[in-house]
Amino acid sequence: MTEKKGLILLVAGGTGGHVFPATALNTELKIRGWKTSFITDNRGVKFTKLDNSTEVYQLNSINPGRTIFSKLKKILFLGITLVKAIIVIRRISPDLVIGFGGSMTIPSIFASKILGYPSIVHEQNAILGRANRVLVKYVDQIATAYPKVLGIPARYYAKIIFTGNPVRSAITVVAQRKEIKTNQILILGGSQGAQIFSKIVPEAVKLLPKNISEKLVIYQQCRGEDIEEVKSKYANTDVTPTLATFFSNIPELMATSCLIISRAGASTIAELNAIGRPAILVPYPAAMDDHQSANARNIAKSGAGWVIPQEDFTPIALAERLTIYLSSSALLKAASINSAKIGYPDATQKLANVIEKISASATRIKL
C-alpha cells in the first residue's frame, strides 16, 4: 500500500528569483504525491503559475524605506502579517514549511516556529539574503544553491546542506540537447535588464567586424515600449533580430545559443549552468546586498562566463568581447563545458529529498 503523504507549504516573495525555484520544487513535490500550498506577496503573485490543486495565499509586503517612521511602519506591518501567517498555517497544518527568501518568508517561518512545525530556508544566491539572514537561527536546515555561501555565521554551518538551485522541468528536458548554433546569441532582459541591453547591444553590433555580424542571429528580450526603437537601431546593421517582451521557448533558445547576455540573477544562472551555456553577465547594481555581483564572480571564477560591471558595459567594450568570443569556438566550448560542470539539473530532486527526510523524522507539538 502506497504511503499517503501530507502537505508542504512553500513561501516565496518579491521576485521571480525567489518564486521560480519554489514553483519548480512545487511541481516535483506534486509528482511525488505531496499536497502543496503556497504563500507569496503582492509582487510575487505575477510569477506564480501553479496548478489549480495548489492553494495560493497572498500576504502583502511593504518597502521599509529609510526613515524611522517607515521602519516602525514595517515592524507593525510584519506583526500583522505574522498573525495572518499563523492563521493560515494553523488552518492548513503543513508537514513542513520551506522559505525561498523575500521579506514574506520572515513572518511565515516565525509562524511555523511558534506553531511547532519544522522549517527550512533555501538560499539561491552566493551571498545570504537579508530575510534568510534573520531566519537561519530558527530553521531546521539551510539549503544552498552554491557549495559555499557567504554570510552564514559559523555557528549555523551544521544546518547547511548543498542542493543547488531548483530549475523548471523544461530546462532539464533541453539540458541533454547538443545542437548549438555557433552564430546565435540570446539576450535576456527581464524587468531589471531589458532597457540597458536594448540601449547597448544594438550599438555594439554596429561595431562588429562584418565577417561576424553578417552571420549573427540574435534573439533579444525587450520591454514592450522599447521594441520599435530597438528595431530601428538594428536597421543599419547586418542583423535582423527577433525581438519580444517574452519568449515562450527560452529553454530551447538557451540550449541552441552559443552565448547568452544577461543579468546575474540566481534563477537565470542556475538554468544556464544546468544546460551548460556560457554567458556575459552584467550584474544589476541595485540588487539587494549586491548579490548579483557575487553570483557573477562565481561564474567568472569557474571559467563558465565573463562579467562586465554595468558602469563598464559600453558598446565598445561589448563589441570587443563579442569579437573575441565569437571568433573562437574553442573558447566558447571550454566555457560551455565549465558551465555544465557547475550546473545542478537534479537540484529540484535533491531539495525534495531533503524535505521528505526532515518531514519524516520531525517530532513536533502543534499548537
Please state the three-class secondary structure of the chain as a single string: CCCCCCEEEEECCCCHHHHHHHHHHHHHHHHCCCEEEEEECCCHHHHCCCCCCCEEEECCCCCCCCCHHHHHHHHHHHHHHHHHHHHHHHHHCCCEEEECCCCCHHHHHHHHHHHCCCEEEEECCCECCHHHHHHCCCCCEEEECCCCCECCCHHHHHHEEECCCCCCHHHHHHCCCCCCEEEEEEECCCCCCHHHHHHHHHHHHHCCCHHHHCCCEEEEECCHHHHHHHHHHHCCCCCCCEEECCCCCHHHHHHHEEEEEECCCHHHHHHHHHHCCCEEECCCCCCHHHHHHHHHHHHHHCCCEEECCHHHCCHHHHHHHHHHHHCCHHHHHHHHHHHHHCCCCCHHHHHHHHHHHHHHHCCCCCC
8 A C-beta contact, residue 22 and residue 38: yes
Q: Given the C-alpha cell 530575510, which residue does it identify?
A: 131
CATH placement of domain 7-167+345-361: 3.40.50.2000
54-85 tens-digit pLDDT: 999 988 765 555 666 666 777 787 788 899 99
Give the pLDDT of residue 190. Answer: 59
8 A C-beta contact, residue 167 and residue 21: yes
CATH placement of domain 171-341: 3.40.50.2000
Q: In the predicted model, is pLDDT for residue 296 greater than 50?
A: yes
222-273 tens-digit pLDDT: 988 899 999 999 998 999 999 998 898 999 999 999 999 999 999 999 999 9
Q: In the predicted model, is pLDDT for residue 366 greater than 60?
A: no
| CATH 3.40.50.2000, the chain: domain bounds | 7-167+345-361, 171-341
Per-residue pLDDT averaged across 184-196, rounded?
A: 79
